[in-house]
Amino acid sequence: MSVLATRWAQPSARGERDAAPPRLPPFRHQPPVHSPVPLRALVPAAGQLLRLGADPRPGLAALLEAAYAAERVVLCSSGTAALQLAIRIAAAHASEPGPVALPAYTCYDVAAAAIGADAGSGLVLFDVEPSGLAPDLESLERVLRGGARVVVVSPLYGIPADWDAVQALCDEHGAVLVEDAAQGHGASWRGRPVGALGRISVLSFGRGKGWTGGKGGALLLRGAAAAADEETAARTGATSSIGEAGVLAGSLAQKVLGRPAVYALPRALPWLHLGETRYRPPAPPASMTRVAAALVCASRDEADREADRRRGNGQFFRERLAGLAGVRIPVPPADARPGYLRFPVLVRGGAAALGPSATVRRFGVEGGYPRPLSELDPVRARLAGKAIRLTGAELLARELVTLPTGSLLSEPERHALVDLFRCSQP
């Protein structure tokens, strides 16, 4: 019997429970991320597959312009595709040619987008500060002094960085800052939503994001960037009926199988690669499908409610995990409101320190990205300049663990997750 099962009934150190919560049913498996797909959203999406009704994409573009204070919106096949276009435009607006700077610890799709953009003079990496999952400003300044002229900042798990500090540093060196807000739904910085902070911003509506259309992304442009060359900004291929049907089928599968009672079934299928972090080579950008646009439009209210639940669960974990030995919780800036797509925790020994992998994963607990970008072969082949030690990214690769925060997390499971950390204490 696992440590979690034997200690499940123990009350918390704060004495918050009078009785032990029940055990999980044998097949219950918590998805790491819950992206709501309301049933009512599938109806207009199915209508778009049959070309019933007006194209929803112009309406979605207008919605995003208003919600994120954008002057121009380009709807794309994915967040990675949108980031490819963003980097191309940023390189065209930089003060001079130079490498593209990426955070050394982030989603591998960020690297794929930069490689697919084929802009600048190679890639350079700046370190990430484990205490806040934000850019290490000293490391960023070094790569800017070294000639980087496009900088991508990706707030991890919806935890905003100090945007003003990063923007000021980029302005000082004539670099263009790209805001990759793929994980940022529900987060804000000084009252402005993440995704509305940069002159060039990117959103993602993939299945693992807080606001989903099954697939899709958006490039948001402001100021001089909004006047980008039309060919550069809209270099996307057309959609196909097969692609449209695939988005609808994937979203329906997510609706049916993305619940704790049945999630063990798709998780057991190895060819789905659920829970794995893999580098995927970049594909040419394409336009967002009509089906995805209909899903995004129809699921906005549900996504906003889900963001409230994520923040509440994130605060629950923050209060109860604080102070545990060997556990560190990244702290957002004072003027930030996290979206907590997942809740990040640094654990000495990583996810393996919490117990058997099969038990830990049943509660939706996953390790972070297992390697810094510097260890990916496609990135190494394009690195410019002298290699530097990225101690923050290396630490995060060893120790970062993430907890689910979505509304599918039950009250007993919230307490069980806390117990999981307490039982791992030396």
Query: What HEC string does 292-352 produce?
Result: HHHHHHHCHHHHHHHHHHHHHHHHHHHHHHCCCCCEECCCCCCCEECCCCCEEEEECCHHH
pLDDT computed for residue 7 by the predictor: 31
Least confident of 114-128, 207-221, 222-236: 222-236
pLDDT digits (tens, 9 = 90+) for 315-366: 999 999 998 998 999 999 999 999 999 999 999 999 999 888 888 888 999 9
Lowest mean pLDDT among 4-8, 10-14, 162-166, 367-371: 4-8
pLDDT, position 5? 34
Could you give the C-alpha distances from 418 to 174, 324, 356, 413, 425, in angstroms and in order?
Answer: 46, 10, 16, 9, 11
Q: Given this model, what pLDDT does residue 8 score? A: 31
What residue segments make up the domains of the chain, in order of their start? 3-423
Residue 232 has pLDDT above 60, yes or no: no
Between 42-51, 339-348, 380-389, 407-416, the lowest mean confidence (pLDDT) is in 380-389
Q: How far is it, in rounded angstroms, from Cα 266 to Cα 254?
A: 10
* Residue % of the chain over a pLDDT of 90: 71
What pLDDT band is residue 238 in, cutting at 50, 70 and 90? low
Query: Is residue 275 scored above 90 in pLDDT?
Result: no
Please give the pLDDT value at position 140: 97
Q: Is residue 11 over pLDDT 80?
A: no
- pLDDT category, 422, cuts 50, 70, 90? confident
Q: What is the pLDDT of residue 233?
A: 47
Q: Which range has the worst mean pLDDT, 21-35, 105-119, 301-315?
A: 21-35
pLDDT band at 424 (very low <50, low <70, confident <90, very high): confident
Model pLDDT for residues 244-264, shown as the tens digit of each residue:
999 999 999 999 999 999 998
Does 61 have pLDDT greater than 90?
yes
Architecture of domain 3-423: 3-Layer(aba) Sandwich (3.40)
Give me the pLDDT at residue 27, please: 79
- b/e map of 109-136 (b: 16 or more CB within 10 Å)? bbbbbbbbbebbbebbbbbbbbebbbbb
- Give pTM, 2 decimals: 0.91
pLDDT digits (tens, 9 = 90+) for 162-173: 999 999 999 999
The whole-chain average pLDDT of the chain stands at 89
